[in-house]
């Protein structure tokens, strides 16, 4: 019986992984479409600086997107 449970669980993992990947791709596509429509963005340096502040434990508002 334990083998069946393990087998069922392991067969669900690829499906869950595919669903997460599909959701990630959809979010990336939505972000790309938004950028194409508006031109608003952050530079890599702006995003890195913001993330560094968050990682160091500081509260940091997201930088304003710009053209």
Residue 20 in any domain: the answer is: yes
Q: Residue 28: its pLDDT value, please?
A: 98
Residue 65 in any domain: the answer is: no
Residue with tokens 């479409």: 33
In whole angstroms, how large is the CA radius of gyration of the chain?
19
Q: Residue 1: its pLDDT value, please?
A: 52
End-to-end CA distance of the chain: 59
Residue 25 in any domain: the answer is: yes
Q: How many domains does the chain have?
A: 1
Residue 7 in any domain: the answer is: yes
Q: Residue 59: its pLDDT value, please?
A: 94
Range of 16's domain?
2-55
Closest CA to 64 of 53, 50, 34: 50
Which residues of the chain carry a pLDDT beneath 70? 1-9
Q: Residue 19: its pLDDT value, please?
A: 97
- Indicate the Cα dihedral angle 40, 46, 48, 52, nearest 10°: -130
Q: Residue 12: its pLDDT value, please?
A: 84
Q: Residue 23: its pLDDT value, please?
A: 98
Residue 67 in any domain: the answer is: no
Residue 63 in any domain: the answer is: no
Residue 12 in any domain: the answer is: yes
Residue 66 in any domain: the answer is: no
């Amino acid at each position: 019986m334990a083998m069946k449970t393990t087998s069922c669980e392991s067969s669900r993992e690829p499906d869950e992984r595919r669903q997460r990947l599909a959701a990630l791709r959809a979010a990336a596509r939505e972000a790309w479409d938004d950028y194409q429509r508006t031109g608003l963005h952050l530079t890599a340096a702006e995003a890195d600086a913001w993330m560094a502040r968050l990682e160091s434990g500081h509260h940091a508002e997201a930088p304003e997107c710009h053209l």
